[in-house]
Amino acid sequence: MMLSKGLKRKREEEEEEEEKKEDLEVDAWWLDPGHPAVTQTPPTVASSSLFDLSVLKLHHSLRQSEPDLRHLVLVVNTLRRIQASMAPTVTLPPVPSPPIVPSVADNLLASSDATLSTSIASLLEDLSHIEGLSQAPQPLADEGPPGRPVGATPPSLGALDLLSPATGCLLDDGLEGLFEDIDTSMYDSELWVPASEGLKPGPEDGPGKEGAPELDEAELDYLMDVLVGTQALERPPGPGR
Amino acid sequence: MGEDTDTRKINHSFLRDHSYVTEADIISTVEFNHTGELLATGDKGGRVVIFQREPESKNAPHSQGEYDVYSTFQSHEPEFDYLKSLEIEEKINKIKWLPQQNAAHSLLSTNDKTIKLWKITERDKRPEGYNLKDEEGKLKDLSTVTSLQVPVLKPMDLMVEVSPRRIFANGHTYHINSISVNSDCETYMSADDLRINLWHLAVTDRSFNIVDIKPANMEDLTEVITASEFHPHHCNLFVYSSSKGSLRLCDMRAAALCDKHSKLFEEPEDPSSRSFFSEIISSVSDVKFSHSGRYMLTRDYLTVKVWDLNMEARPIETYQVHDYLRSKLCSLYENDCIFDKFECAWNGSDSVIMTGAYNNFFRMFDRNSKRDVTLEASRESSKPRAVLKPRRVCMGGKRRRDDISVDSLDFTKKILHTAWHPAENIIAIAATNNLYIFQDKVNSDMH
């Protein structure tokens, strides 16, 4: 019995021309063999639904307290492949190698790709930051003589080192602010600003909504919210799994 | 047992000895020791169960060399990392036996973060006749002691004692996927997603980092280490595989840091079968040197490949494990089955290779005759001492009576872990929480 937690797939007719290069065949083999759809040439799955699926997998992977790095890397690489194939006709700077800083002048696809990559990148960076603090050998391993003998005693950590960059900023503001202003709601919103700055896509600023029609703002905003939400979720205590 | 004749052809006459239900704990690793006398399994609950082969006895020909439980112990416990608010799983990822150097047996077992060296000893004698203590161990009243006696060793029921001798902790930031003992019997290596460390078996407070593929910026991360192994004879050589399907053979004598490989084994992508999932299915889940040391065996999602150490451009042999899944990759991606990591194994003479698949099927390929067989590990399909029947998966079209349709395969029944006895045709198959041990009985009566 096949375990298939399927997503509803949208079949976009206009996608099929774009996909001649990357043909993905999925025959609907779980259907009744007598079904006419099965006996015909299997339809190509719309890249957009595969993209959605991959994004969902990425979310799920990043949501784990300790993501499976192999799974994460494979999903990210697959996602980049799918993205690259979704706008083959649009001429833009090389999409597969995403720019570090999203340029406002880029079109929607490039900026969302960069945004996505930056989000992934920042999360992976946080991951390595947190990993690096808790594991003894890691900081020592990056320096030292060839062969890199690694000690087992953990380095002493300052209290602020334990915080991610986002909350570090909060404390900087908060120490003075606490004495000046007792309204804490300002700092609640402050919590979100440093994390989401630079991650929010600026489709309104872009030259226009050209490119893949599938990447709409609502999807991107949702993605950003979840990713930002993920950062907040990493800090509470308790078993992560 | 005529091993030479057995290995010339695939023999379907496998008998099933026992099936051991380890209380719903999923088996996560299986490993024979160097003589094949002992078989260790690790499970998700952090336990190790060791089986020992009973010596063959003429009196009971049917219990010829069967495996019975020898020892059970808790190797790893669940841990909580307070700094990261994370639970560290106690699941045993790998077990590797050390070559036996005295009466005791030793093995390394590892979970995601910590490797432990366990010593297994037998006690079958007990001293009796102490002067100061009585039989229960209580101190004697000295006034009752009138003469001195020499305590003697009396036989007792065999007791197997297991003790942790070394704990190799804090060596890995990421999850350990492999350990491998060096042929020098003094060192071993452990690999996680991004790094490989070299340890001395006697030293627990330090290790040497010999491979580091962590990029300066984690956003540049595109590849992880998936498996690694020392060469069986050359103590300076080891191989590690990647999620992109490449193998890197490294020489520890070339440099202290083996980030630069000596040889890179990579097969160019076949443009005709390229898809979004090409990279995922090319990810190598297991790599094993042949006993001869001349070849390497790799397992990726759909195939097993044999590589010649002298040829980097492509494998010398490729065997399809379940090519009927090639058109189902999208669904398998959806339910995450495409990320399953199957292991592979050589037989003792390197002529047959084995790997697991879905529906409790496992496959064997004879390298000489190019014949292959699909067998099933399940209690429903075989009674004890029965001969295993070859199975067939059909895609459609003409279907024979006992064929399994690809649509009715059970993808929750995966055989990820298999092991082959180092010398004889005995295999151990882990099917979720069941262990199957099959022996090849080539007997003129059976045919």
Nearest to B179 by CA among B169, B190, B171, B187: B190
Pick A121's closest partner by Cβ from B169, B219, B331: B219
Task: Give a yes or no: residue A71 inside a domain.
Answer: yes
Which chain B residue's Cα is nearest to A65? B86
Q: Which residue has the higher pLDDT, B132 or B282?
A: B282
Contact (Cβ atoms closer than 8 angstroms) between residue A22 and residue A45? no
Contact B276 A82 (CB under 8 A): yes
Contact B85 A50 (CB under 8 A): no
Task: Give a yes or no: residue A203 inside a domain.
Answer: no
Give the β-pairing of B115-128 and B105-110. Answer: antiparallel
In this prediction, residue A155 has a pLDDT band, given cuts at 50, 70 and 90, of: very low
Query: Average pLDDT of A137-151?
Result: 41
Contact list, B325 vs chain A (CB under 8 Å): none
Is the Cβ of B322 closer than 8 Å to some Cβ of chain A? no
Task: Give a yes or no: residue A77 inside a domain.
Answer: yes
Domain range spanning residue A59?
45-88
In this prediction, residue B272 has a pLDDT band, given cuts at 50, 70 and 90, of: confident
Contact B224 A69 (CB under 8 A): yes
Which 3 state secondary structure label does DSSP give B243?
Answer: coil
Pick A146's closest partner by Cβ from B175, B256, B408: B256
Which chain A residue's Cα is nearest to B242? A70
Predicted pLDDT at A241: 41
Task: Give a yes or no: residue A80 inside a domain.
Answer: yes
Which chain A residue's Cα is nearest to B225? A70
Give the rounded percent of residues in chain B with a pLDDT score beyond 90. Answer: 68
Task: Give a yes or no: residue A212 inside a domain.
Answer: no
Contact B172 A135 (CB under 8 A): yes
A:B CB pairs within 8 Å: 177
List all residues of chain B from 11 to 30 with a beta carbon under 8 Å from chain A. none
Digit-coded pLDDT (tens) for A52-69: 999 999 999 888 878 899
Chain mean position to CA B392: 26
Predicted pLDDT at B381: 57
Give the rounded percent of residues in chain B with a pLDDT score beyond 70. Answer: 90
Predicted pLDDT at B365: 97
Q: Which of B7-21, B33-47, B237-251 has the lowest mean pLDDT?
A: B7-21
List all residues of chain B from 200 to 219 with a beta carbon under 8 Å from chain A. 204-210, 212, 214, 217-219
Q: Which of A26-30, A84-88, B82-86, B303-307 has the lowest mean pLDDT?
A: A26-30
Contact A137 B170 (CB under 8 A): yes
Which chain B residue's Cα is nearest to A23? B275
Pick A124's closest partner by Cβ from B219, B280, B410: B219
Q: Quickly count: other Cβ atoms within 10 Å of residue A226's Cβ.
A: 17
In a mutagenesis test of the B interface, which of A58, A65, A70 is the best target, namely the one with the most B β-carbons within 10 Å? Answer: A70
Predicted pLDDT at B58: 66
Contact (Cβ atoms closer than 8 angstroms) between residue A140 and residue B181? no
Contact list, A9 vs chain B (CB under 8 Å): none
Predicted pLDDT at B155: 92
- B21 pLDDT exceeds 70? no
Instruction: Give residue for tokens 């593929």.
Output: B213
Predicted pLDDT at A63: 86
Q: Which of A82-86, A134-138, B25-29 has the lowest mean pLDDT?
A: A134-138
Q: Give the max Cα distance, chain B.
A: 94
User: Where in chain A does DSSP place strands (E)?
Assistant: 149-150
Pick B339's closest partner by Cβ from A6, A74, A125: A74
Pick B275's closest partner by Cβ from A24, A69, A162: A24
Q: Which pTM was predicted?
A: 0.70
Question: What token pair was written down for B22?
Answer: 């380890």
Cα distance between residue B200 and residue B208, in whole Å: 9
The torsion angle over the Cα atoms of residues B327, B333, B335 and B340, rounded to 10 degrees, is 100
Query: Average pLDDT of B139-158?
Result: 88
Query: Average pLDDT of B345-374?
Result: 96
Which chain B residue's Cα is nearest to A71? B339
Predicted pLDDT at A115: 54
Predicted pLDDT at A48: 79
How far is the alpha carbon of B130 from chain A, nearest alpha carbon, in Å? 45
Q: Which residue has the higher pLDDT, B439 or B363?
A: B363
How far is the alpha carbon of A148 from chain B, nearest alpha carbon, in Å? 6
Pick A147's closest partner by Cβ from B208, B276, B335: B208
Give the β-pairing of B317-320 and B344-346. Answer: unpaired
The torsion angle over the Cα atoms of residues B56, B61, B67 and B71, rounded to 10 degrees, is -70
In a mutagenesis test of the A interface, which of B330, B342, B410 is the best target, namely the one with the most A β-carbons within 10 Å? Answer: B330
Contact (Cβ atoms closer than 8 angstroms) between residue B303 and residue B320? yes
Contact list, A1 vs chain B (CB under 8 Å): 408, 410, 412
In this prediction, residue B183 has a pLDDT band, given cuts at 50, 70 and 90, of: very high
User: Where in B54-137 does DSSP place strands (E)?
Assistant: 67-74, 79-81, 86-88, 94-97, 105-110, 115-128
The average confidence (pLDDT) of chain B is 89
Is the Cβ of B259 closer than 8 Å to some Cβ of chain A? no
Is the Cβ of B173 closer than 8 Å to some Cβ of chain A? yes
How far is the alpha carbon of A161 from chain B, nearest alpha carbon, in Å? 12
Task: Give a yes or no: residue A50 inside a domain.
Answer: yes
Task: Give a yes or no: residue A166 inside a domain.
Answer: no
Query: Average pLDDT of B99-120?
Result: 96
Q: Which residue has the higher pLDDT, A220 or A164?
A: A220
Which chain B residue's Cα is nearest to A39? B396
Contact list, A238 vs chain B (CB under 8 Å): 85
Which 3 state secondary structure label does DSSP give A99?
Answer: coil
Task: Give a yes or no: residue A70 inside a domain.
Answer: yes
Contact B331 A30 (CB under 8 A): yes
How many domains, in total, are found in chain A?
Answer: 1
Q: Which residue has the higher pLDDT, A231 or B312?
A: B312
Is the Cβ of B414 closer than 8 Å to some Cβ of chain A? no
Contact A162 B83 (CB under 8 A): yes
Nearest to B367 by CA among B3, B9, B106: B9
Predicted pLDDT at A128: 55
